[in-house]
Amino acid sequence: MTKNVIMKKIITRAKAPTPKFFKVLRTVGLALAAVGGTILAAPIALPAIVTTIGGYVAVAGGVLSAASQLTTTDDSILRQAQEDKIGNGQ
Distances (CA, A) of 63 to 6, 33, 57: 19, 9, 10
The residues, ordered by sequence, that sit 6+ positions from 19 with a Cβ below 8 Å of its Cβ are 71, 72, 73
Tell me what pLDDT residue 52 has.
Answer: 95
Residue ranges of the chain whose pLDDT lies below 70: 1, 74-78, 81, 87-90
- Crossing angle (nearest 10°) for helices 75-87 and 3-15: 160
Per-residue CA distances from 37 to 25, 46, 60, 66 (Å): 18, 13, 11, 16
Residue-wise pLDDT tens digits, 30-45: 999 999 999 999 999 9
Q: In the prediction, which pLDDT does 18 show?
A: 85
State residue 90's pLDDT score. Answer: 56
Cα separation, 86 vs 27, in Å, equals: 35
